[in-house]
């Protein structure tokens, strides 16, 4: 039972255009969401996050949007660059008692290819 | 800055063999965890630890053991390897607060024949 879903295994966009990666979740107790980027033969690296009390967070070319009623979040990359080509994972966490842990649940990933 | 270091990078085992995947972090992070990555399955949590002496199970703990005797180290043990454990394994750490991003190592690619 996947609590975090990325329904698009891959996405191809032209350099300079917008990339939109989508993520859906089922657990209404999730209150913090993150996006990670992964290059081949490397570990995932943190990209951007958003708390459930917000609906948008922006960091340079990267913006994450959260729609709590739809249990949906998306990552927008504008403008897309060839170096953005990687696998993107969304992840979600639920604050447990004491807030002492951040057990992240990950989606299956979307492979983004940015064509020069 | 070493960050999270995993060894070995690659390993081939025969069914039934045992081994330990090593993970060390030098950021004084309280929280550490192990994930496995399989095609079409994303990253799945195996075990995690919120501090030295404390461990707990994640989504897919069967066939794996962990211990946390120091803040820095969090080894993952396979007692009797099975082909279903062929995967890429990632260790990660964080400060442990709810909104602290995980820092990942570069992974160990394990093949069980």
pLDDT in tens, A53-70: 999 999 999 999 999 999
The partner residue sitting opposite B96, judged by closest CB among A4, A102, A107, is A102
Residue A99 above 60 pLDDT? no
Name the pairing type of β-strands A105-106 and A72-77.
unpaired
Note the pLDDT of residue A2.
81
Residue A105, Cβ neighbours under 10 Å: how many?
Answer: 21
How far is C-alpha A67 from the geometric centre of its chain's CA atoms?
13
**A84 by DSSP, 3-state: which?**
helix
Strands B108-112 and B10-13: parallel
Query: Each residue of B42-80: b (16+ CB within 10 Å) or e?
Result: bbbbbbbbbebeebeebebbeebebbbeebbebbbebee
Among residues A101, A106, A85, the alpha carbon closest in space to that of A36 is found at A106
Out of A33-37, A76-80, A97-101, pick the least confident. Answer: A97-101
Q: What is the DSSP letter of A21?
A: E
User: What is the average per-residue pLDDT within A93-116?
Assistant: 81
Residue A5 has pLDDT above 90, yes or no: yes
List chain A residues with CB under 8 Å of B31: 101-102
Residues sharing a CB contact under 8 Å with residue A59, sequence separation 6 or more, in sequence order: A48
Interface test with B, best of A38, A98, A102, A111 (most B CBs within 10 A): A102
pLDDT top residue among A98 and A12: A12
- State which residue of chain B sits closest to A106, comparing Cα positions: B43
pLDDT tens per residue across span A21-49:
999 999 998 989 999 999 998 999 999 99
Q: Does B83 touch chain A (CB under 8 A)?
A: no
* Chain A CA closest to residue B49: A101
pLDDT surpassing 60 at residue A98:
no
CA distances from B110 to A24, B13, B38, B86 (A): 30, 8, 11, 5
The pLDDT, as a whole number, for residue A96 is: 64
Compute CA distances A101 → A55, B30, B47, B56, B102, whole Å: 23, 9, 13, 11, 11
DSSP letter assigned to residue A81: -
pLDDT of residue A13: 98
By CB atoms closer than 10 A (0-12, 13-18, 19+), residue B103 is buried
DSSP one-letter code for A69: T
pLDDT beneath 70, residues of chain B: 1, 98
Chain A contacts of B101, Cβ < 8 Å?
Answer: 34, 46, 49
């Amino acid at each position: 039972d996947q609590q975090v879903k990325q329904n698009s295994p891959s996405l191809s966009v032209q350099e300079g255009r917008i990339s939109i990666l989508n993520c859906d979740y089922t657990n209404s107790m999730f209150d913090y969401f993150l996006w990670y980027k992964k290059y081949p033969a490397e570990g995932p690296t943190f990209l951007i996050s958003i708390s459930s009390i917000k609906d948008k967070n922006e960091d340079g070319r990267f913006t994450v949007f959260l729609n709590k009623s739809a249990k949906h979040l998306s990552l927008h990359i504008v403008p897309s660059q060839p170096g953005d080509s990687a696998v993107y994972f969304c992840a979600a966490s639920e604050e447990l008692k004491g807030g002492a842990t951040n057990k992240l649940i990950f989606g299956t990933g979307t492979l983004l290819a940015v064509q020069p | 800055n070493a960050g999270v270091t995993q060894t070995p990078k690659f390993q081939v085992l025969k069914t039934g063999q045992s081994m330990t995947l090593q993970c060390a972090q030098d950021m004084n992070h309280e929280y550490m965890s192990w994930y496995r990555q399989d095609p079409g399955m994303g990253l799945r949590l195996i075990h995690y630890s919120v501090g030295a002496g404390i461990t707990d199970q994640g989504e897919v703990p069967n066939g794996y053991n962990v211990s946390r005797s120091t803040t820095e180290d969090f080894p993952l043990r396979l007692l009797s390897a099975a082909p279903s454990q062929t995967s890429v394994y990632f260790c990660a750490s964080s400060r442990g607060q709810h909104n602290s991003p995980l820092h990942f190592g570069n992974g160990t690619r394990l093949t069980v024949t």
